Amino acid sequence: MTNDIMPNNLYSNIAELLQTARQTIVRAVNQTMVYTYFEIGRMIVEDEQQGKERAEYGKRVLKELSKRLTAEFGKGFSVENLDRMRFFYQAYSKSISSTVLTKFGDKAVSTTPLRKFTLSWSHYLKLMRIENPDERNFYEIECAANNWSLKELKRQCDSALYERLSLSRDKEGIKQLAQQGQVIEKPIDLLKDPYVLEFLDLPEQQRYSESDFEQALIDKLEHFLLELGKGFTFVGRQVRFTFDEKHFKVDLVFFNRLLRCFVLIDLKIGEITHQDIGQIQMYVNYYDRFVRLTDENKTVGIILCKDKSDTLVEITLPQDNDSIFASRYQTVLPDKQAFINLLNQG
């Protein structure tokens, strides 16, 4: 059979259908496995609550249970794994208000949760080690919404994303993070302070220029977009515009689909000055007047700097400023406990 006999798009359409089917099957298998492990954890916990001697009884039961399950169903049922299932149920049953009757095969299971488990078991192994239930809920929501891999989930936890976002919010805003994840409704919702750029492999004390910094961000653009957050698409670097026969260049230009606006980023490797703030103001004004379309929202400007004076930024910008911001960056993972202490002080 030659390629002329087969329609050009027949193979590609069928291949795409099969890939989708495979992905759907994998997701269904993973979800069934997570629900099953949750149910096993429930059974173990309820058995422990039968009034027997707790510690010694529990050890003996898990050891015997592990032995028999492994003999019949193969690996995956070590005492350690069974204890993880038990802990999984304890961690997540508190967020379930009621249960439904469902079936696994021909057998009815009476307490399958109404809440949805949409992630893989590996994701939940990471999540259930987070002690703060609000923080755990936040990462679960963001992980599902943004399709984070396990590696990306670990990175976001290690970079203290929850704490960094919480520092710029009041109590109601922190509560919203736990219930809805990061909601982008206005420009300030985009902001993090600091941005964590450890993926650039630029040691904290290493000397580098702004052009080196910019090139490193471009080389790791996919990672940088993940750190920027939801809705960002890359437009260009060193984007030039001209007026009065003078040429200007914006370091990095993005468009945010959620806010429907341009986001201009100016890079500074030292502490920012009021001149730097004036420069980003001029960039933003130009884009608002000559680049953005009538159905797009006001341009946002961000100075990404190594250090800043909050007082200088506040005094330089108008009191009603809602479009120009300065955020620090750091090139090593933060001390998460330091962020937690700052939150507790608030």
88/302 Cα distance (integer angstroms): 41
* CATH number (domain holding residue 307): 3.40.1350.10
Same structural domain for residues 92 and 197? Answer: no
pLDDT in tens, 266-308: 999 989 999 999 999 999 999 999 999 999 999 999 999 999 9
Q: Using pLDDT thresholds of 50, 70 and 90, give the confidence band for residue 179.
A: very high
pLDDT in tens, 88-124: 999 998 765 434 334 444 554 544 455 689 999 999 9
Helices 79-92 and 10-48 cross at an angle (nearest 10°) of: 90
On whether residue 121 sits in a domain, the answer given is: no
Residue 222 burial (C-beta neighbours within 10 Å; 0-12, 13-18, 19+): exposed
Same structural domain for residues 206 and 97? Answer: no
Helices 54-73 and 10-48 cross at an angle (nearest 10°) of: 150
**pLDDT (mean) for 61-74:** 93
**pLDDT (mean) for 210-222:** 95
Average pLDDT for the chain = 88
Top mean-pLDDT range of 3-7, 24-28, 263-267, 331-335: 263-267
Same structural domain for residues 208 and 308? Answer: yes
The domain of 197 spans: 190-335
On whether residue 271 sits in a domain, the answer given is: yes
On whether residue 151 sits in a domain, the answer given is: no
On whether residue 87 sits in a domain, the answer given is: yes
On whether residue 152 sits in a domain, the answer given is: no
On whether residue 163 sits in a domain, the answer given is: no
Instruction: Domain count for the chain, please give it.
Output: 2
Among residues 113, 142, 171, the one where a domain terminates is 113
On whether residue 127 sits in a domain, the answer given is: no
Q: Please provide residue 306's backbone torsions phi and psi, each rounded to the nearest 5 degrees.
A: -75, -35
Same structural domain for residues 329 and 195? Answer: yes
On whether residue 122 sits in a domain, the answer given is: no
Whether a cis peptide bond, with omega within 30° of 0, leads into 194 is: yes
Q: Which of 33-37, 47-51, 233-237, 272-276 has the lowest mean pLDDT?
A: 47-51
How much is the pTM? 0.83
Same structural domain for residues 194 and 290? Answer: yes
Among residues 44, 79, 113, the one where a domain terminates is 113
Q: What percent of the chain has pLDDT over 90?
A: 69
Q: Please provide residue 247's backbone torsions phi and psi, each rounded to the nearest 5 degrees.
A: -105, 140
Q: Are strands 232-243 and 246-256 parallel, antiparallel or unpaired?
A: antiparallel
Q: Using pLDDT thresholds of 50, 70 and 90, give the confidence band for residue 10.
A: confident
Same structural domain for residues 225 and 328? Answer: yes
Same structural domain for residues 79 and 195? Answer: no
53/103 Cα distance (integer angstroms): 32
Among residues 91, 113, 135, the one where a domain terminates is 113
Which helix or strand (DSSP H or E) is residue 306 part of?
strand 300-307
**pLDDT (mean) for 210-220:** 95
**pLDDT (mean) for 121-135:** 95
